[in-house]
Amino acid sequence: MAGEVSDHINQRFFVAVHVGAGYHSPVNEKALRSAMKTACLAAASVLRTGSGGCADAVSAAIETLENDPCTNAGRGSNLTEDGDVECDASIMDGSSGAFGAVGAVPGVRNPIKIAALLVKEQILGSSLLGRIPPMFLVGEGARVWANSKGINIFETIEKANEWLITRKAKEQWKKYKAMLDDAKAEITLVKSSSSHQQIDNSSDKGEDNIMDTVGVICIDKQGNIASGASSGGIALKVSGRVGLAATYGCGCWASSNVGCCVSGAGECLMKLFAAHQCCISPLLSHAGPVAACSKVLESVIEDNSDTSAGFLLVQAEAPLVGPGSSRELKAVEIAAGFTSLSFGIGYFGNSMDHPKVSILRSTKQDNTRDICQFAALVNLSSSPIRYH
């Protein structure tokens, strides 16, 4: 019996997470690393035991990131120009191609739960009277739908904001709102250089400036992949704005053997279908994930040299074990590419003793948008040696 339990709880899996591209203050690095470790372990608990699929694991991991006030997702999100929290989230299941997303949804603790339920309903097929299940819901409609499906939400948006809005986010909003009001006043009087100041606190070394999005990619024992993203959006965004994390092909993508999550300046990256482009890159087959990331990032820089972005890409090796058998996850290659000052990533697999997490930092000495890279090949064929 013990042997059976041991086999059951040690199924092969892999998890990769990120906590956004931008600038991550060293003051907050410990909290961000802890958040990534928690996310990795949450996904692993689903995949290791086989208690859920890849999309379930993605949702479990992102829920922990949404609940952690140090990330720009769920609690602690950037505020809109009106001072509210409106979240975006999405999940894509690589095996079925099912995609679920919510955009600019207010008053919800975990928007990723709504995205996950949308994916499940698509996989199950047509609902009552043959109506096509929705793929993308926005605003108050998404909140009402979630409530009708039994997802626990706050009674009112006001009560939700009491939990979602942190003191740090409120102080940042006050600072940026004052800048915006001053700029509007200047424009009213005369166009001047002072009206061109940008909302960017990357020079303030005590504060984070995370552009957008957290993301997770999960792979199960058979090599099936799902990916997801969640975000509070850019600081001082217009109410109703839907960003990268909810947009099809942009914030996340998953197929039969590759998954990608993207973070950064949403409007610029959405035009390029960034996550999708990484996953269909011909470079994947002969040059690998790093080259695929770099190629798309080069396109981002060509389109707008000031764009800050971070890509996380995972490619799975899961060959067929034998004739008529299913695939078996053997190894993964993980790659990250970014043009921002920093990019927080982490990963964990069944062959590892514990998650590896890091805040990758750019070594560039000027304002050029050079592409920084990270890559690792992880063999999942063996389990870590444990001593008792």
Measured CA to CA, the distance from residue 278 to residue 250 in angstroms comes to 10
Measured CA to CA, the distance from residue 103 to residue 139 in angstroms comes to 6
Backbone angles phi, psi at 15, to 5 degrees: -135, 135
By annotation, the residues acting in catalysis are 213
Strand partners, 317: 331
Cβ–Cβ under 8 Å, residues 236 and 80: yes
Q: Where are the beta strands (DSSP E) in 37-126?
A: 86-93, 99-106
Cβ–Cβ under 8 Å, residues 316 and 328: no
Measured CA to CA, the distance from residue 105 to residue 230 in angstroms comes to 11
Buried b (16+ CB within 10 A) or exposed e, 78-113: bbbeeebbbbbbbbbbbbeebbbbbbbbbbbbbbbb
Among the listed residues 62, 133, 61, 122, the one whose alpha carbon sits nearest the alpha carbon of residue 97: 122
